[in-house]
């Protein structure tokens, strides 16, 4: 089944530069749904993560080694720019099944919100002074404005998105802000790169650590790794057909980030 938007050619991606020109849903071994077309995690990082012999230095699947078959299957999945995170999409299936069984009652009741974990946005083109806390805060404020009416930033606590201060948009404060924005230094190709706030590689590892250490949502029952792997294909189809993905696409088009 095709993704919500057509997969773009390399030529079209190059012409778009830092503008998103479509959505490519992908899934990583850490149960993270990744959207967009610009690479963040390289294939070498993915290969190291899923070594079937268990020799990887990156903790995956709670220390359990993966089978060669699963490793090859995961290697076929190209990991693209992380802009939207669903830490455990298995709850999506139960949410959709419950809503589909409601039938006519949906017309008289407020529709139940689809399961949605924490969305994460990443900017990889910032350089020099653009990496200042104020610039990152302004970018966060712009994102909040574009997505203020979206379910991506709604919380059960009822916090108003406009009430978040600049400190709450800092990369180290992951749990207090409904919309996460990370700034990754631009990867320069110069022989003698200028001094940066932090290197591109170290920023990627820091990003990965922070994403994986985010406080997970509470579920009715725990989902084991075995259950995840067993039902991952079904879950993935639910995610690809999810109204959340469609809403994300509409939000991009409305905000002007999506280029036609």
* DSSP calls for 246-260: HHHHHHHHHHT-S--
- CA dist list (Å): 136 to 14, 112, 123, 131: 25, 33, 9, 7
What is the rounded distance in angstroms from the CA atom of residue 84 to the CA atom of residue 92?
15
What is the rounded distance in angstroms from the CA atom of residue 240 to the CA atom of residue 22?
14
Q: What angle do CA 38, 205, 24 make, to 5 degrees?
A: 25
The H or E element containing residue 14 is helix 10-16
* Parent domain of 172: 30-97+110-255
Residue 99: which residues within 8 A CB-CB, separation 6 or more?
106, 111, 112, 114
Does residue 180 contact residue 120 with C-beta atoms inside 8 Å? yes
Q: Give domain status of residue 159, yes or no.
A: yes
Q: Give domain status of residue 230, yes or no.
A: yes
Q: Give domain status of residue 17, yes or no.
A: no
Q: Give domain status of residue 6, yes or no.
A: no
Total domains present in the chain: 1
Q: Which two tokens stand for residue 199?
A: 């290197």
Q: Give domain status of residue 7, yes or no.
A: no
Does residue 257 contact residue 19 with C-beta atoms inside 8 Å? yes
Q: Give domain status of residue 22, yes or no.
A: no
Q: Give domain status of residue 10, yes or no.
A: no
Q: Which residues of the chain are under the pLDDT cut of 70?
A: 1-119, 146-147, 149-178, 187-199, 216-240, 242, 244-245, 247-260
Q: Give domain status of residue 5, yes or no.
A: no
């Amino acid at each position: 089944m095709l993704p919500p938007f057509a997969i773009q050619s390399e030529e079209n991606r190059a012409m778009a530069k830092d503008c998103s020109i479509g959505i490519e849903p992908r899934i990583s071994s850490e149960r993270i749904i990744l959207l967009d077309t610009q690479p963040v995690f390289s294939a070498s990082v993915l290969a190291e993560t899923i070594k079937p012999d268990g020799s990887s230095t990156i903790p995956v699947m709670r220390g359990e080694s993966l089978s060669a078959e699963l490793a090859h299957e995961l290697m076929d999945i190209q990991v693209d720019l992380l802009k939207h995170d669903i830490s455990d999409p298995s709850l999506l299936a139960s949410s959709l099944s419950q809503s589909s069984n409601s039938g006519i009652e949906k017309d008289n009741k407020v529709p139940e919100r689809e399961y949605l974990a924490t969305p994460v946005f990443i900017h990889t083109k910032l350089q020099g002074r653009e990496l200042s806390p104020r610039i990152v805060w302004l970018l966060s404020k712009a994102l909040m404005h574009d997505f203020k009416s979206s379910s991506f930033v709604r919380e059960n606590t009822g916090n108003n998105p406009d009430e978040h201060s600049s400190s709450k948009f800092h990369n180290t404060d992951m749990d207090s802000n409904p919309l996460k924005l990370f700034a990754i230094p631009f990867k320069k190709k110069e022989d003698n790169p200028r001094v940066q706030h932090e290197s591109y590689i170290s920023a990627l590892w820091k990003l990965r650590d922070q994403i994986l250490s985010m406080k997970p949502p509470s579920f009715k029952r725990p989902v084991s790794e075995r259950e995840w792997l067993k039902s991952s294909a079904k879950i993935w189809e639910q995610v690809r057909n999810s109204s959340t993905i469609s809403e994300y696409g509409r939000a991009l088009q409305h905000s002007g980030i999506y280029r036609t």
